[in-house]
Structure 1
Amino acid sequence: MTTKTIAVTMGDPAGIGPEIIIKALLHDELNGAPAVVIGCLETLRRVCQAGLVPEVDLRPVNQVSEARFTPGVINVLDEPLEEPQSLVAGKVQAQAGDLAYRCVKRATELALAGEVHAIATAPLNKEALHKAGHLYPGHTELLAKLTDSKDYAMVLYTDKLKVIHVSTHIALRKFLDTLNQERIETVINIADKFLKRVGYAAPRIAVAGVNPHAGENGLFGDEEINTVTPAINAAKAEGLNVYGPCPPDTVFLQAYEGQYDMVVAMYHDQGHIPLKLLGFYDGVNITAGLPFIRTSADHGTAFDIAWQGKAKSESMEVSIKLAMQLA
């Protein structure tokens, strides 16, 4: 799949991250793949000792160059918790949020230095992140800050449906107040560049409307007339294959059936609901517009089932595989 090394960040150690990372890296073609886990080694050992995952050799390394990729072995760059034995599974804790931040920061530094070629992140908990003093809405915004990236967007990715977002972690009322033509144009261009990067020669991009029926010619709102359509026309003038504004209640099905290669969603739930309904277990979250590839399991920390051996690792597996393919 690739000979380039991928960093896999632990995410929130009190969630399902430690379990799904180990399960994913022991599954089929990922077993022995060139991936280095960045996380708390003692926590990974606790998960193994509890019998929550298959038997594995956790090999500590001090730097990426020391890693050796062998089936049944997972290389770990230790990023220790402050008090690993006091970590409680399924509970919001500041030390867990701080660890999640430090793992992403270290992985970003390695990627920018060229020591790893992509990052796959396990889920973090936003409340724990904030409790530790790291006031970011999520991975996307944190990675943008760490890389000083200005034009970026969240992509949700499955084989049959791909969605990119104009806005994500923002209140709906604020979204409507801040929606503007420039941001929509930027996201359309990010979508086009991303799709070309992953193999689409002439991407077909559909832009969802804001309002029911895409406003129905102003009957249900004028955002489509004043903001969305001018952005689409500007993208078309640059030679991009862009369609819309499309009624949000049908455009995702049309993309799923192959009419479009990607949908530009206006806000978080508009894009997340159809994607998670159709691809919850194999969907991947990608941050487009960064200087390196970043993928993530498209679900949360699942505190309610953390450290119980119940967590499914499919989305984590797909995110690591996709990071390797794109690298």
Structure 2
Amino acid sequence: MTNRAPIALTQGDACGIGPEIIAKLFRTPQAVGCFVIGDVAVQRRAVASTGGGLVVAAIERAADAPDVPPGCIPVLVPPGLPVDLMAAPIGQVDARAGAAAARCIEQAVRLARGAEIAAIVTAPIHKEALSAAGVAFPGHTEMLQALSVDAGAPLPPVRMMLANDELRTVLVTIHLSLRRAIDAVTFDAVLQTLRISQQAAARWGEPAPRIAVAGLNPHAGEGGLFGDEEIRIIRPAIEAARAEGIDATGPFAPDTVFMRARRGEFDLVVAMTHDHGLIPVKYLGVEQGVNVTLGLPFVRTSPDHGTAFDIAGTGRADASSLLAALEMARRL
């Protein structure tokens, strides 16, 4: 990694486990070529809570990251961090932590758009803390989408994919109430998701992925008995995608299609709503799960778990999902 652009790890919510899993990651050889965007004091506290033994040093540029010696965590401090961030209580929602998380994401995108880094790996943020800080985005995905283009420019269509070694799921709708998400399942949204999924799979070496499309209603509508979105919207979108050469099939019953994909019948599943798609992947274990934002002009991955306020500060957090996210970023 030393002769390539480094990978940036955003620190996430300072009151959660993000800084701790970053500290654990830097105790592995996989951290070579990475640096943290965040607060130096917060990262030192996380090192102490996870056993010490690492030095935390501020760097001025992303390009300085490969020059730090082994056993050192390089931290690039973004502008605008709250000066009293360390006063935010660990394990609680705090506007200061939300504001700091947003500043880290903003800096990471600036570096990615300037080609100063190879990818962004984001530690978990807390949506309530973001909101308390006045950040007008419900989560990472929407914020990264808006920051990836100049103000006033059309937003790139993006989708969330959650993946592990057994299952990959791409979502048509993301952070919406269920009532609004159903309305957001349109022909264009489904077809666009299939196109984005096809393009993303080609990036990781699968130019012709077998894509299963899950229905919206129980039993995929059962021929219109339990809802007609499959007939009116989803099936026509699949047919349009197939006319473009995309190997998409369905719609299949949401309660069985993930099992079929896990057994190897499909390479990925497109699901209509957030929980339809993410519950099966997370049930298999968050330790190896990776969240990937598809459609951005840069690579972004993250662990598939949250801030885990209940164990923050204890040093017990597992860094496996962050490590998997880093490895996925390198593959992409």
TM-score range, shorter chain: over 0.9
Sequence identity, in percent?
Answer: 45
Secondary structure in 2 matching 1:8? strand
Answer yes or no: is the 8 Å Cα contact 1:25–1:317 preserved in 2.
no
* Pairwise CA RMSD: 1.3
- For 2:268 and 2:213, locate their aligned partners in 1 and report how far apart those are by CA, in whole Å: 9
Rounded to whole Å, the distance in 2 between the matches of 1:85 and 1:186 is 43
Residue matched to 1:186: 192
Correspondences of 1:101-140 after superposition (within 5 Å) = 101-140=102-141
Report deviation, 1:81.
3.4
Contact map agreement 2:6 2:63 (CA 8 A) in 1: no
| Unaligned runs of at least 5 residues, structure 1 | none
Deviations 1:162-209 (A, max 9, x none): 000000111111112232100000000000000110011311101000
- 2:105 is matched by which residue type in structure 1? V
Query: Following TM superposition, by how much is the alpha carbon of 1:70 offset from its aligned partner in structure 2, in angstroms?
Result: 3.8
Does the 8 Å contact 1:22/1:53 carry over to 2?
A: no
1:63 is aligned with what amino acid?
R
- Structure 2 CA distance, aligned partners of 1:251 and 1:53? 43
SS of the residue corresponding to residue 47 of structure 1 reads helix
Deviations 1:284-315 (A, max 9, x none): 00100000100001011011110111111100
The residue aligned with 1:218 is 224
Alpha-carbon displacement from aligned partner over 1:266-292 (angstroms, at most 9, x marks no partner) = 000001100001131110001000001
2:206 alignment partner in structure 1: 200
Q: Which amino acid aligns with 2:110?
A: E
Could you tell me whether the CA contact under 8 Å between 1:163 and 1:263 is conserved in 2?
A: yes
1:111–1:118 Cα contact (<8 Å) kept: yes
* 1:103-157 CA distance string (max 9 Å, x none): 0000000000000010000000000001000021100000001013321100101
C-alpha distance in 2, partners of 1:170/1:179?
Answer: 11
Alignment of 1:230-245 (within 5 A): 230-245=236-251
TM-score by length of 1: 0.96
Amino acid at match of 2:270: V
Q: How does 1:64-103 map to 2 (within 5 A)?
A: 64-67=62-65, 68-79=67-78, 80-103=81-104
Please list every run of 5 or more consecutive structure 2 residues that lacks an aligned counterpart in the other structure: 150-154
Partner of 2:45: 46
Check conservation: 1:23, 1:54, Cα contact below 8 A.
Answer: no
- Cα separation, 1, equivalents of 2:284 and 2:47: 32
| Distance (whole Å) between structure 1 residues aligned to residue 195 and residue 8 of structure 2 | 27
Query: Where has structure 1 moved over 6 Å in runs of 4 or more?
Result: none
**How far has the Cα of 1:69 moved from its partner?**
4.8
SS of the aligned residue for 1:273 comes to helix
1:1-327 matches, within 5 Å, as: 3-27=4-28, 29-31=29-31, 33-49=32-48, 51-67=49-65, 68-79=67-78, 80-148=81-149, 149-326=155-332
The separation in 2 between residues aligned to 1:178 and 1:230, in whole angstroms, is 16
Q: How big is the shift at 1:54?
A: 4.2
- Contact 1:40/1:81 (CA < 8 Å) preserved in 2? no
